Amino acid sequence: MKNKIKIFIVLFICLNVCLANEPNNPTQVRNIIEKLNQAAANLKNLTAEVEYLHAQSLFDTQTLRTGELFYTKDANFCALRINFLTLKQDESQQQNYREDYIFDGMKLTKIDYQGKSALTEQYAREKTIEPFELVQDYFPIIGLSKPDEMAEQFDITADGNTLLLTPKENSKFFKTYKQVKLTVNSENYLPSNFWASTCDSEEITIKLSKIENSKAVDKNVFEVKIPADFVQTQK
């Protein structure tokens, strides 16, 4: 009898482990989102190196940009900055290429150093918006803003530590993306890899590496300095 009980316990444990690791398991999805939500809520500072790969199948071309990402948040200030520094198109040599995106909770400032232009888009005037929410209009960096509300925008399944997001018909992402994937780092439960298939038959891959979230980021990083000879546009 004791041996039968032991066998039953072992089988029960194995069954639960297998179910937990099955793709599309609702419990697995819920657990990842809960940990992701906690990590995002506790995130105060973040720096990382970023790779942005944009593949256009219609033109059989792809562009790789690299740069840096900075983020900070406290009771009085929040901001996100992405500085692209290099560009490589198809088989050509990598070249210096500078383009900055600064999200300060109220607006986006995009500075194009090749075209000597700057664009400012105002999103709010009184209450700040989480910068990782604003950035979603430009890059599929999803999961760092209100992860607990992702189910309102997406049908979600999981494969290991990767969440597969399919926009719902009433989602604000429905006309932009066919599917988005984000891989959650098992050590800090922050998303580090993002992939998106767009409605224009393009593929976007964003990889964050050398992630640091324990050191304060100097707020001077987020200062907007537009050269005097740049053409400035506001929306």
Tell me, yes or no, if the pTM score tops 0.95: no
Q: In this structure, is residue 185 part of a structural domain? A: yes
Q: Residue 81 domain-assigned?
A: yes
Q: Quick check: is 125 in a domain?
A: yes
pLDDT of residue 36: 93
The count of other CB atoms within 10 Å of the CB of residue 41 is 10
In a domain, 11, yes or no: no
- How many structural domains compose the chain? 1
| The pLDDT value given to residue 57 | 80
| 146 falls within a domain | yes
Encode the chain (235 residues) as per-residue pLDDT tens digits.
Answer: 545 444 444 333 443 444 444 556 788 899 999 999 999 999 999 999 999 999 998 788 999 999 999 999 998 899 999 999 999 999 899 999 999 999 999 999 999 999 999 999 999 988 899 999 999 999 999 999 988 889 999 999 999 999 999 999 999 999 999 999 999 998 899 999 999 999 999 999 999 999 999 999 999 999 999 999 999 999 8
| pLDDT on residue 24 | 61
Residue 206 lies in a domain: yes
pLDDT of residue 12: 39
Contact status, residue 205 vs residue 228, Cβ threshold 8 Å: no
Q: What CATH number is attached to the domain comprising 137?
A: 2.50.20.10
Q: Which two tokens stand for residue 22?
A: 């099955």
Residue 2 placed within a domain:
no
Predicted local confidence at residue 1, as pLDDT: 53
Q: How far is 182 from 43, CA to CA, in rounded Å?
A: 18
In a domain, 60, yes or no: yes
Say what the pLDDT of residue 39 is.
Answer: 93
The alpha carbon torsion through 31, 36, 37, 38 (nearest 10 deg) reads 90
Determine the structural domain holding residue 180 and report its residue range: 25-234
pLDDT at position 119 is 97
Q: Contact, 105 vs 79, CB < 8 A?
A: yes
